[in-house]
């Protein structure tokens, strides 16, 4: 689709900034952020916290402006939950007066920035704030054994702030229909959907030919190792089934998973994109146990022609076609996931890697960029 001349001229003259919640780990949201930076290469990034070491060179060529939270002692920064009372204030302190267009990449905080009246603020939303809407009771219990009235009042304050912050963007873009429905429910706002794309397409080299089960000895999980990702569930299942499992990723549950895993399970920690290719290419199937808003690792696995065993919830329902690109399981329990693995193994030879790969075509970088730019240009044309 051709750009409107008005939109193109406006874009050429715009001063653009990008705001992202945290740059202290590299996951799906950060991959999307990287693509937004490709569209706007001169735009600086504002973020609540920046850990250069953990980002391993990602965004090293960008101007990055962390919030005042960066000045707190390191032992507090490493335990972000203790900074929670300050986080609603942090995005509101960014000085964005010089910018005509601000794009927030938000899973929690960055949508709460304050801009000039005539600044266009577009929020690409990975999720409404999970811990105050979806996991509030679990989060309260993690804050301490005793759940008192003060903690409940604070969580209520965060929900009020989060709702009000979600009214600030001029336009919200959701990363999936699942996220769109949650935005509508919690924030009472409608939005458009632009799916995240498959990253590093030119580096992916799927194996040619038909499935060769003998060459695919293990099952694979690639995930941030956080509690809500439910990787511990997969480890428990494979402990009982005795099947080979490889887990790749890092996070606060890594030590727990290493202690839980038996000899048939390898917890490998972080791996580079280049190293990941070999693991994707040689796995029997990819396991996705989380209720996630989209699931970039699902399409990464499918790009290699690999079936996915995924929870029938969240964004996975928009990606996996049962019996064609993978199998669903219906509850996050050991018995139900184990049954899903068994059903997959019964059908394993029937999966066609070429068909699985073609299902990834709709998640391309070009489609993401086009979808995002069409929305931005339409808004600029209205100004």
Supply the pLDDT for residue 55. 92
If asked whether residues 240 and 187 sit together in one domain, one would say no
Report CA-CA distances (Å) from 304 to 208, 210, 268, 324. 9, 12, 20, 14
If asked whether residues 129 and 215 sit together in one domain, one would say no
If asked whether residues 189 and 337 sit together in one domain, one would say no
How many CB atoms sit inside 10 A of residue 7's CB?
19
Using the Cα atoms of residue 82, residue 88, residue 93 and residue 96 in order, give the sign of their dihedral.
Answer: positive
Quote the CA–CA distance of 164 and 167 in Å, as a whole number. 5
Whichever domain contains 206, its CATH number is 3.40.50.2000
Quote the CA–CA distance of 381 and 378 in Å, as a whole number. 5
If asked whether residues 296 and 346 sit together in one domain, one would say yes
Supply the pLDDT for residue 382. 82
Looking at the chain, the number of H-run helices and the number of E-run strands are 16, 13
CA 13 to chain centre: 31
If asked whether residues 144 and 233 sit together in one domain, one would say no
If asked whether residues 352 and 371 sit together in one domain, one would say no
Supply the pLDDT for residue 201. 57
Task: Quote the tokens at residue 331.
Answer: 């509850």
If asked whether residues 138 and 32 sit together in one domain, one would say yes
How many CB atoms sit inside 10 A of residue 137's CB?
11
- Give bridge partners of residue 246 from the DSSP assignment: 220, 266
Supply the pLDDT for residue 152. 77
If asked whether residues 192 and 212 sit together in one domain, one would say no
If asked whether residues 187 and 248 sit together in one domain, one would say no
Contact by Cβ (8 Å): 196, 335: no
Q: Which helix (H) or strand (E) holds 355?
A: helix 353-358
Quote the CA–CA distance of 125 and 255 in Å, as a whole number. 30
Quote the CA–CA distance of 110 and 132 in Å, as a whole number. 16
- Give bridge partners of residue 368 from the DSSP assignment: none
Quote the CA–CA distance of 168 and 161 in Å, as a whole number. 11
If asked whether residues 371 and 339 sit together in one domain, one would say no
Supply the pLDDT for residue 214. 41
Contact by Cβ (8 Å): 241, 338: yes
Domain count, the chain: 2
Burial of 113 (0-12, 13-18, 19+ CB in 10 A): buried
Per-residue pLDDT of the chain (383 residues; tens, 9 = 90+): 444 444 455 677 899 999 999 999 888 899 999 999 999 999 999 999 999 999 988 999 999 999 999 999 998 998 888 899 999 999 999 999 999 999 999 999 999 999 999 999 999 999 999 888 876 555 455 444 555 677 778 888 999 999 999 999 999 999 999 999 999 999 999 999 999 998 765 444 545 444 433 445 899 999 999 888 999 999 999 999 999 999 999 988 999 999 999 999 999 999 988 899 999 999 999 999 999 999 999 999 999 999 999 999 999 999 999 999 999 999 999 999 999 999 999 999 999 999 999 999 889 999 999 999 999 999 988 86
Supply the pLDDT for residue 132. 86
Quote the CA–CA distance of 123 and 306 in Å, as a whole number. 33
Using the Cα atoms of residue 34, residue 37, residue 42 and residue 45 in order, give the sign of their dihedral.
Answer: negative
Domain that holds residue 293: 201-358
If asked whether residues 137 and 26 sit together in one domain, one would say yes
Whichever domain contains 51, its CATH number is 3.40.50
If asked whether residues 148 and 243 sit together in one domain, one would say no
Please state whether beta strands 16-23 and 45-50 pair in parallel, antiparallel, or not at all (unpaired). parallel
Task: Quote the tokens at residue 145.
Answer: 């054994």
Quote the CA–CA distance of 109 and 96 in Å, as a whole number. 15
Contact by Cβ (8 Å): 241, 235: no
């Amino acid at each position: 689709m051709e750009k409107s001349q008005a939109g193109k001229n406006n874009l050429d003259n715009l001063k653009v900034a990008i705001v992202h919640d945290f740059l202290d780990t590299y996951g799906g949201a950060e991959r999307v952020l990287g693509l937004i930076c490709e569209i706007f290469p001169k735009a600086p990034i504002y973020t609540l916290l920046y850990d250069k070491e953990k980002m391993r060179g990602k965004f090293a060529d960008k101007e990055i402006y962390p919030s005042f939270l960066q000045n707190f002692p390191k032992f507090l920064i490493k335990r972000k939950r203790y900074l929670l009372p300050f986080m609603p204030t942090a995005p509101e302190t960014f000085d964005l007066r010089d910018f005509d267009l601000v794009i927030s990449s938000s899973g929690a905080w960055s949508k709460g920035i304050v801009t000039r009246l005539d600044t266009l603020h577009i929020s690409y939303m990975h999720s409404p704030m999970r811990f105050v809407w979806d996991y509030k009771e679990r989060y309260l219990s993690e804050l301490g054994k005793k759940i008192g009235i003060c903690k409940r009042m604070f969580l209520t304050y965060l929900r009020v702030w989060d709702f009000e912050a979600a009214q600030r963007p001029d336009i919200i873009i959701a990363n999936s229909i699942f996220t769109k429905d949650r935005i509508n429910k919690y924030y009472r706002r409608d939005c458009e959907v632009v799916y995240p794309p498959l990253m590093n397409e030119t580096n992916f080299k799927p194996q040619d030919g038909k499935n060769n089960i003998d060459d695919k000895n293990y099952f694979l999980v690639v995930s941030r190792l956080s509690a809500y990702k439910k990787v511990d569930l997969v480890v428990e299942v494979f402990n009982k089934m005795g099947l080979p499992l490889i887990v790749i990723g890092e996070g606060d549950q890594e030590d727990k998973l290493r202690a839980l895993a038996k000899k048939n399970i390898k917890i490998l920690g972080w791996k580079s994109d280049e190293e990941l290719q070999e693991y994707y290419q040689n796995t029997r199937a990819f396991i996705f146990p989380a209720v996630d808003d989209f699931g970039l690792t699902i399409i990464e696995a499918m790009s290699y022609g690999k079936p996915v065993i995924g929870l029938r919830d969240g964004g996975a329902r928009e990606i996996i076609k049962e019996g064609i690109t993978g199998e669903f399981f219906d509850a996050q329990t050991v018995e139900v996931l184990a049954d899903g693995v068994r059903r997959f193994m019964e059908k394993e030879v029937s999966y066609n890697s070429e068909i699985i790969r073609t299902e990834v075509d709709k998640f391309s970088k070009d489609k993401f960029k086009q979808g995002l730019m069409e929305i931005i240009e339409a808004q600029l044309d209205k100004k």
